[in-house]
Amino acid sequence: MIRFDDANGTNRDGIGIDNFSFAAYPSTNFYSWNGGTSGSYNVSSNWAPNRTSPSNSDILLFNLSNATQVDNLSTETINHLIVSGTAGITLLNSSSANTLSINKSVNIGNNASLSLSINASINISSLGSITTSGTLNTNNAVTLMADNNGTASINLTTGTINGNITTQCYLTGKRAFRFLAHPFSNSIGLNALTDNIDITGSGGNSNGFTTTSSNNASAFWYNTTNGNTSQSPDPGWTSYTNTNGSGNNAWNQYQGIRILARGAKSQGLDGNTYTPSATIIDMSGAVNTGNQTITLTKGINSNYNLIGNPYAAPIDLSLTTRGSNIGANFYVWDIAQGVRGGYTSNPFSTSYILPAYAAFFAQSSSSATNNTIQFTEICKSTTASNATLLGTNKFNGYHLSLEAMSDNIFWDRLLFLFNDSTSSNVDWIDANKLFNPDVSFYSFSDDSIPLSIDARPFSFKKNITLGIQSNTLGSFFIKVNAIHLPMNASLQLHDKLLDTYQTLYQDSVYKFTITNDAASQGNERFELTPYKKAVTAIDSTASIHFSVTPNPFVDKIFIQNPFTSAQKTSIKIITINGKIMQSIPATNQQQIVIETSHLAKGIYLIEFLSGDKKLVEKIIKL
């Protein structure tokens, strides 16, 4: 337990403690620098205890009160490097270039400094980080590594970082556009990436691009002034015409860009079938630290701004501070959606971890006032973000999250937020639908605007129109990813083409097919309805005794007949998709025992039918 204690006992209820950190290290493999007489890094007696057998699990501590040069830096790997007290440590090697690799962390304390000098460099592994409340002088020789395990980051920084840092970003092996950002306070050119990936554009290699037969552009920035999301393609997407970073070809601070990642260099340029390889891009600059404020603009036909993560670290977008004219939602491009990627919208009000070097769309209703997003060091997250930008959001309040899928492909997500303070018409709380290249799944506001996040009051009487558009034919399903509705409320998915209804439960699935028939997709196929079709509902206020125990169950359930003994009751156990798994003949017994050992684990519906009355409840097999 760590406790704040006030020795004089005076009331301190108003005190808050910010930027507190605590680190504990094992006593083994822990070496403290004492300098000895030589000041040489690779002399074992200059460490306490003597560092006779260097290991990649070592923890090295410099806890001094003076400026010290440490020569003969070795090329080796350690776990942690700690500089504390008022130490001013300079690492160098007078005779040869050596690199110190850090598995886990570099931690520089308040009033301490770490400087790299001649022939000395540091690589932070993909699972490592830098934290400093002191000073780091990089001498342009620090690299944040990345691989399929993760990306090194610069964590909470209240100190100063001088000099450039090289950052790496791992791109999975998929031919798809990426929304990328850089974490630097200066603009850079696309030529920072052309040694790692092919970027194509007008003029080919005469403008710094890879030359192809078409020289079609593969890198774009978004110009809000020219944007119009109602057109396809959106004229706001502006192609780069040179990789030199000059003028409109600059990749500016805070700017998100869209780049087609084909795979490794030379892959996917000739139009032939291939398997894209994963690749790593790197770039270098002076990293942003401290508060970063980004101003958004509004065009005549677009209010979308493509914004880059300003830090070399994952960030929680819910912790940003947004002006009143900034929209309530943001959009990410998720390469795991469909075949080529797709848009997913999320509320700023829910936690969402955006990876380093990623970008997102946000909206502004003004170019003049209350149109900023402020990022602070507190926004940085040590929680690993999903490499494909699939959020693990937990939505507050009443909600419904539906996913359009087929086989193992996630195509799109539609989110409803039910709140009596919102409107059924489109407003600033809603997220307009940005349509995907493959499959788009959306709802309509009452004023006929397609939405990806639909905030509205929950209605027990009103249907909600859903739309689905697909360039792919075949079998699909709609899955309930998350659901929390008001008490006594339920929703059904109505397939108007087949005139079938399915009640929505957590993880329930509705299968359907899109064919060449235009009626199998579009804006008339599905709707959400609170009504039940052709079912005589049982009055929930009536004194009907009903129980299924245990629920969840394993191999047996006990049922208290919900109807009177004067009427016989038939019982069916049905899958979420409507398949009858078990039928129990009509009986008027008060207690019924059903063996369920043959059922697979999952969610089922148990249906009771007595005369013209029908009751359906959800049960779960463990």
> Is residue 91 very low, low, confident or very high in pLDDT (cuts 50, 70, 90)?
very high
State the pLDDT at residue 565: 54
How far apart are alpha carbons 351 and 392 in whole angstroms? 8
State the pLDDT at residue 393: 46
Helix (H) or strand (E) holding 359: strand 359-364
The residue extents of the domains of the chain are 30-163, 191-256+289-391, 395-534, 547-621
> Is residue 546 very low, low, confident or very high in pLDDT (cuts 50, 70, 90)?
low
Nearest alpha carbon to residue 101 among 137, 66, 143: 143
pLDDT exceeds cutoff 70 at 97: yes
> Is residue 11 very low, low, confident or very high in pLDDT (cuts 50, 70, 90)?
low
Nearest alpha carbon to residue 285 among 355, 188, 357, 376: 188
C-alpha dihedral, 535 to 540 to 543 to 544, nearest 10°: 50
Helix (H) or strand (E) holding 115: strand 113-116
pLDDT tens-digit map of 402-447? 999 998 899 999 999 999 889 999 998 999 999 999 999 999 999 9
pLDDT tens-digit map of 112-130? 999 999 999 999 999 999 9
State the pLDDT at residue 538: 39
> Is residue 591 very low, low, confident or very high in pLDDT (cuts 50, 70, 90)?
confident
How far apart are alpha carbons 296 and 368 in whole angstroms? 9
State the pLDDT at residue 357: 97
State the pLDDT at residue 487: 83
> Is residue 622 very low, low, confident or very high in pLDDT (cuts 50, 70, 90)?
confident
The two three-digit tokens of residue 47, written as one number: 């460490």
State the pLDDT at residue 564: 56
Helices (H) and strands (E) in the chain, counts: 0, 49
* More confident: 487 or 70: 70
pLDDT exceeds cutoff 80 at 561: no
Q: Residue 9: left if φ>0, alpha if ψ -120 to 50, beta else—which one?
A: left
Least confident of 332-346, 476-490, 537-551: 537-551
User: Backbone phi, then psi, for 518, in 5-degree steps?
Assistant: -60, -25
Residue type, 300: I
Question: Is residue 614 classed exposed, middle or buried when 0-12, 13-18 and 19+ CB atoms within 10 A define those classes?
Answer: middle
The two three-digit tokens of residue 621, written as one number: 């097999």
Q: Is residue 58 a contact partner of residue 64, using CB atoms and an 8 Å limit?
A: no
> Is residue 540 very low, low, confident or very high in pLDDT (cuts 50, 70, 90)?
very low
The two three-digit tokens of residue 439, written as one number: 């499959």
Neighbours of 580 (CB within 10 A): 10
Sign of the four-CA dihedral 141, 291, 358, 410: positive
State the pLDDT at residue 38: 77
pLDDT exceeds cutoff 80 at 612: no
Residues with Cβ within 8 Å of 257's Cβ and at least 6 positions away in sequence, in order, are: 179, 180, 181, 219, 220, 221, 251, 306, 308, 359
Nearest alpha carbon to residue 317 among 358, 349, 291: 349
Return the percentage of the chain with pLDDT > 70, whole number.
91
Least confident of 217-221, 228-232, 565-569: 565-569
| DSSP conformational letter for 471 | S
Q: Is residue 261 a contact partner of residue 177, using CB atoms and an 8 Å limit?
A: yes
Helix (H) or strand (E) holding 454: strand 450-456
User: Backbone phi, then psi, for 381, in 5-degree steps?
Assistant: -125, 140
Alpha helix segments (H runs only) across 58-121? none
- Predicted structure pTM score: 0.80
Question: Is residue 271 classed exposed, middle or buried when 0-12, 13-18 and 19+ CB atoms within 10 A define those classes?
Answer: exposed
Domain 547-621 has CATH 3.30.420.10: no
